[in-house]
Amino acid sequence: MASSLLILNLIFSSFLAPISAVAGLANYLHKGSSLSAKHASDALQSTDGTFSFGFYNLSSTAFTLSIWFTNSADKTIAWSANQDRPVHRDGSKVMLNKDGSMVLTDYDGTVVWQINSSAEAVHAELMDSGNLVIKDQGRSILWQSFDHPTNTLLPMQPVTATAKLVSTDLSHPTSYYTLRFDDRYVLSLAYDGPDIFNLYWPNPDQSSWTNYRISYNRSRSGALDKLGKFMASDNTTFYASDWGLEIKRRLTLDYDGNLRLYSLNESDGSWYNSWMAFSQPCEIHGLCGWNGICAYTPRIGCSCPPGYVVSDPSDWSRGCKPVFNLTCSNDGQKMSFVRIPQTDFWGFDLNYVMSTSLHSCRAMCLASCSCVAFVYKVYPNGCFLKSDLFNGKTVPGYLGAAYIKVPQSYLSRSRAHASELSNRHVCNASKSQTFNYATQSNKEMGTMWYYYYCFLAAFFLVELCFIAFGWWFMAKTHSARSAVWAAEEGYRVVTDHFRRFTYKELRRATRNFKYELGRGRYGSVYKGILDDNRIVAIKKLKDVKQGEAEFQTEVSVIGSIYHMNLVRVMGVCSEGSHRLLVYEYVENGSLAMFLFGSKGLLQWQQRYKIAVGVAKGLAYLHHECMDWIIHCDVKPENILLDQDFEPKISDFGFAKLLQRNQTDPNMSKIRGTRGYIAPEWVSSVPVTEKVDVYSYGVVLLELVMGLRVSELPANASADEGAALRQLVWTVTEKIKTGDQPWIDGVVDPRLNGNFVLSEVLLVLEIAVLCLEKVRNQRPNMNHVLQKFLSYE
Ligand SMILES: *[C@@H]1O[C@H](CO)[C@@H](O)[C@H](O)[C@H]1NC(C)=O
Ligand SMILES: *[C@@H]1O[C@H](CO)[C@@H](O)[C@H](O)[C@H]1NC(C)=O
Ligand SMILES: *[C@@H]1O[C@H](CO)[C@@H](O)[C@H](O)[C@H]1NC(C)=O
Ligand SMILES: *[C@@H]1O[C@H](CO)[C@@H](O)[C@H](O)[C@H]1NC(C)=O
Ligand SMILES: *[C@@H]1O[C@H](CO)[C@@H](O)[C@H](O)[C@H]1NC(C)=O
Ligand SMILES: *[C@@H]1O[C@H](CO)[C@@H](O)[C@H](O)[C@H]1NC(C)=O
Ligand SMILES: *[C@@H]1O[C@H](CO)[C@@H](O)[C@H](O)[C@H]1NC(C)=O
């Protein structure tokens, strides 16, 4: 009998439990009643089931009073009363008192959070919108959670003058980002750290005007509507990528300072991103803390400049600290600078000087005690002395570099431990790629200094490729060796990059000059295989009058220039009358063979990539190398394509190489190739880098039209180049008048209309600028590059 009662009891309770659980999920809480943390069923649920309100378990014993998405897989929290102070499971409760106050107490009765009310409440209700409201007798709202957002805004929940978002969440209690209206009433994202305050969205370098914001609208309010459009009184407007559908969304200020709009996938409860403020997260301030540098590797990560170590490896936002003491120069401490290419630090400018040389910028920083580094921008030219380093970022394509001040004594010490400088850390503390920040000491000033920097910049760029190559190479030859060893070998290969070869070696590599790849004005090119199995192209020069030593010095400078879009010189041979250069082998041969030969058809996207790549290579030659190298013979024959059709410019540095000791003043006239040479070459003015810009313009036209513009048929009576001038004039007119059919017609017919008109227009526009007859009116290559980049 007793046992059957027990069984009955069991059956009953197993039926009753779910029933009571369902019954517990009302959407309101009457005055005088409470919810306790102990029973999971003690929760409110909105009538449509979207949101729940109650105790949310962080662990089996710690709870927060929260509103969460019932149907999201991880029960995402939309609002929380006490995320910084969780309560215990046993004995904690939240109670709606008769006087209208709502009080959250911990197990021992401590009040953790409370709402103070001015009137008597009737009940608290969880609305379908996710808003928890406390209403009085007359059904008016005494308090609502929508007025007190945490890190998330729900649709229809306003951000106002007083309601701001703060990025902290349960797992990231120290995060300093906020979304709020600033003092000009512009909705902004700010880094609001313990010792620094920075606005970083919208773009702080632009006026609110250029950011399309309206300042000083006193309404100060913004909200996401049900269809996924966000609007604010300052004209902040954005749309969810899935705009228009009634999807459950949330706008969350994540702990990494990025504002993201998420949409719920109802089928599996996951969230997907439907908008975010930053697609380039290194623009967010404070990510890597003091002295830290944010970079894409390509995963976003933080690193410390040379001479600095991470303060707290588990939290990169705490930045890096120097391992040396930067004292003033009175004590005789000699200072050096370490260059970090393509890197900028935002803010903290002691001084800003426009149009100055790297040299004087450096001298200014040396002279100032409080200058810890400087940023030298090539374009637009400027020198920024920094008193502190914050918001550091390495951005590919940034036309400038940061130079960190470090004591020379430190540098010489650390050279012994190169790895200390080369370990690149990443936010999540997993060690990833390594690369060297090249260093530069104080003594080696003068001309070599420029070359040196040039080399260092490039060194940084290609080193990764080389390490990869080293790995591959080692893996191939010694597949059994450990990865660490392979990496070390990679370094060895890197440092061993430029070599002198003997003539015998090269003759062997080319099987006695058997496979000729091509023949140019300077000599023939042969394919060769070095002893270490690397495939190379070997150029046998003719008519070089320089002496051996002089030639080698000159070439080793060319050999030290590395850029993705420049063909690398790997070595040189200069013996007796033999002058040979060893180049990397570029798989796909020259652009000319594709454009005018029968090697295959280049699609528009490939052509566009080539246009941009060549601009990058030339900009590097002209500007990063301090105006040192003018190519003088830019043409499709000298643009090689690798297996991914990334262009690489070859034969740079030749003009200089062959010009040395030139007694013939007409030399400049015979360099360059007919059809590509700028008009000023015919006159006797000195050649500047603008001649390359002109030739580049011709190449652009050829990329678009797919034919040799330089060989356009001209009237018998007209002078050379008249046809090209006529073409440029027509293109200019047609772009101006927007004659699309004409433009369509001028594009290479082999493309069958498969091109992007806006890109074609851009390329043509740049081409006609480059083909300006007056050279001062031509843009320089940095301007050209800038045009491409800003279009992207
Ligand atoms: C929270 O409770 C649920 C069930 O109520 C359980 O599955 C989950 O593991 C708990 N979470 C933690 C962190 O204890
Ligand atoms: C209510 O009042 C108490 C004491 O005056 C204060 O500490 C608390 O922050 C107030 N609560 C709210 C939600 O305003
Ligand atoms: C408001 O923003 C839109 C685009 O977001 C822009 O086109 C418009 O010019 C802006 N209005 C003002 C007054 O800035
Ligand atoms: C300010 O913003 C509100 C709300 O968006 C808008 O209705 C109002 O026209 C704006 N006022 C001005 C002066 O732009
Ligand atoms: C939602 O999730 C399902 C299952 O994982 C997936 O097949 C579907 O593509 C997702 N929908 C969206 C819009 O992401
Ligand atoms: C820097 O100076 C502090 C105090 O003057 C000293 O304790 C510390 O050892 C110095 N650090 C180095 C690397 O010289
Ligand atoms: C760290 O990086 C690894 C490698 O990409 C990744 O799989 C992992 O999810 C990352 N961890 C965190 C916490 O971001």
Q: What one-character-per-residue DSSP string does 362-423 give? A: HHHHHH-TT--EEEEETTTTEEEEESS--SEEE-TT-SEEEEEEEEHHHHHHHHTTHHHHHB
- 3-class DSSP assignment, residue 537: strand
Q: What one-character-per-residue DSSP string does 49-108 give? A: SSEEEEEEESSSSEEEEEEEETTSTT--EEEES-TTS-EETTT-EEEE-TTS-EEEE-TT
**Same domain (yes/no): 575, 621:** no
- Asked whether the beta carbons of 490 and 474 are under 8 A apart, the reply is yes
User: Cα(161) to centroid of ligand 4, in Å?
Assistant: 14
Distance of CA 370 to the CA centre of its chain: 29
Eight-state DSSP code of residue 328: -
Q: Which ligand is nearest to the CA of 271?
A: 5
Q: Tell me, what CATH number does 707's domain have? A: 1.10.510.10
User: Cα(58) to centroid of ligand 1, in Å?
Assistant: 8
- 3-class DSSP assignment, residue 159: strand
Range of the domain at 35: 2-127+135-147
Q: Can you give the pLDDT at residue 557?
A: 66
**Same domain (yes/no): 638, 571:** no
Ligand 5 site-directed mutation target among 248, 266, 268, 273, most atoms within 8 Å of CB:
268
Q: 349 lies in a domain?
A: yes
- 3-class DSSP assignment, residue 464: helix
User: What is the number of the ligand 5 atom nearest to the C-alpha of 272?
Assistant: 14
**Same domain (yes/no): 757, 620:** yes
**Same domain (yes/no): 604, 699:** yes
Q: Tell me, what CATH number does 328's domain have? A: 3.50.4.10
Q: 441 lies in a domain?
A: no
| Residue where a domain stops, chosen among 409, 439, 472 | 409
The mean pLDDT of 681-689, rounded to a whole number, is: 72
The mean pLDDT of 659-665, rounded to a whole number, is: 41
pLDDT digit string, tens, across residues 422-439: 333 333 322 222 222 222
Residue nearest to atom 2 of ligand 6 (CA): 325
**Same domain (yes/no): 111, 164:** no
- Give the whole-angstrom CA distance, residue 675 versus residue 677: 6
User: Cα(424) to centroid of ligand 7, in Å?
Assistant: 15
| Residue where a domain stops, chosen among 538, 564, 584 | 584
Contacts within 8 Å (CB) and 24+ apart, 585-589: 585/527, 585/534, 585/535, 585/536, 585/537, 586/537, 586/640, 586/641, 586/642, 586/648, 586/650, 587/641, 587/642, 587/643, 588/640, 588/641, 588/642, 588/643, 588/645, 589/517, 589/518, 589/640, 589/641
Establish whether residue 430 lines the binding site of ligand 7, counting it when its CB lies within 6 angstroms of any ligand atom.
yes
- Give the whole-angstrom CA distance, residue 333 versus residue 388: 20
Q: Can you give the pLDDT at residue 657?
A: 60
**Same domain (yes/no): 100, 15:** yes
- Asked whether the beta carbons of 117 and 132 are under 8 A apart, the reply is no
**Same domain (yes/no): 618, 643:** yes
**Same domain (yes/no): 360, 500:** no
Q: 692 lies in a domain?
A: yes
**Same domain (yes/no): 85, 61:** yes
Cis previous bond, 322, omega within 30: no
**Same domain (yes/no): 251, 329:** no
Tell which residue, 622, 647, 623, 626, has the closest CA to residue 637.
647
Tell which residue, 255, 290, 92, 77, has the closest CA to residue 175.
255
H helix and E strand count, the chain: 17, 45
Residue 540 assigned ligand-binding role = yes
Distance of CA 66 to the CA centre of its chain: 37
User: Cα(375) to centroid of ligand 6, in Å?
Assistant: 27
pTM for the whole structure: 0.57
Eight-state DSSP code of residue 497: -
The mean pLDDT of 366-387, rounded to a whole number, is: 88
**Segment of 157-161, 294-298, 520-524 carrying the highest mean pLDDT:** 157-161
Q: Can you give the pLDDT at residue 691?
A: 87
Q: Tell me, what CATH number does 44's domain have? A: 2.90.10.10
- Asked whether the beta carbons of 483 and 467 are under 8 A apart, the reply is no
Among 106, 136, 633, 692, the one annotated catalytic: 633
Q: Can you give the pLDDT at residue 150?
A: 94
**Same domain (yes/no): 566, 634:** no
**Same domain (yes/no): 614, 758:** yes
Q: Collect all residues with Cβ–Cβ distance below 8 Å to 597 and sequence separation of at least 6.
A: none
Residue nearest to atom 4 of ligand 3 (CA): 212
Establish whether residue 235 lines the binding site of ligand 3, counting it when its CB lies within 6 angstroms of any ligand atom.
yes
Looking at the structure of the chain, the number of domains it has is 5
Range from 221-230, 242-251, 490-499 carrying the lowest mean pLDDT: 490-499
- Give the whole-angstrom CA distance, residue 744 versus residue 221: 47
| Residue where a domain stops, chosen among 253, 279, 305 | 279
| 633 flagged as catalytic | yes
Tell which residue, 757, 783, 779, 759, has the closest CA to residue 770.
779
The mean pLDDT of 317-332, rounded to a whole number, is: 77
Q: 419 lies in a domain?
A: no
pLDDT digit string, tens, across residues 701-737: 999 998 888 777 655 555 667 778 888 888 898 888 8
